[in-house]
Amino acid sequence: QVQLQESGPGLVKPSGTLSLTCAVSGDSIRSNKWWSWVRQPPGKGLEWIGEIDYSGSTSYNPSLKSRVTISVDTSKNQFSLKVSSVTAADTAVYYCAREKPYSNPFYMDVWGKGTTVTVSS
């Protein structure tokens, strides 16, 4: 059974950097899949942040690209998200998800439970 678990600070100061990690169990991050981050501001819809494969190839949401970095650590079977220069608008529940290769776009078949990040001083 594949499981994804997000972890990281729940509170980040404005202008700081948000850092989260997603630990993958039950599947190898080296497998033929991609791994993504999605966020959901309070009371709002889903926003795709970006994705990465085991080799480190990435794709980002153009609206966030200048502030986002997604990386992978194959030795720990996990991947990570960094968002710099955060503001209150980055307050959200952050989900990590597994993407199954399919005709564009890939679909997200396994999701973490999500972690709440609040940007506040």
Partner 1 sequence: QSVLTQPPSVSGAPGQRVTISCTGSSSNIGAGYHVHWYQQLPGAAPKLLIYGNNNRPSGVPDRFSGSKSGTSASLAITGLQAEDEANYYCQSYDTSLSGSVLFGEGTKLTVL
For residue 29, what are its two tokens?
A: 């991050």
Burial (0-12, 13-18, 19+ Cβ within 10 Å), 18: buried
Asked if 105 interacts with partner 1 (CB under 8 A), we say yes
Residue 88: strand, helix, or coil: helix
Identify whether the C-beta of residue 64 lies closer than 8 Å to the C-beta of residue 50. Answer: yes
x/- string (CB under 8 A) for partner 1, residues 3-22? Answer: --------------------
Instruction: From 15-23, 68-76, 81-89, 99-107, give the range in contact with partner 1 by CB under 8 A.
Output: 99-107
- The answer to whether residue 118 forms part of the interface with partner 1 (CB under 8 A) is no
**Interaction between residue 43 and partner 1 (CB under 8 A):** no
Judged on CB neighbours under 10 Å (0-12, 13-18, 19+), 56 is exposed
Is 107 a residue that touches partner 1 (CB under 8 A)? Answer: yes
Point out which residues bind partner 1 (CB under 8 A): 36, 38, 45-48, 51, 59, 61-63, 65, 95, 100, 102-109, 111-114
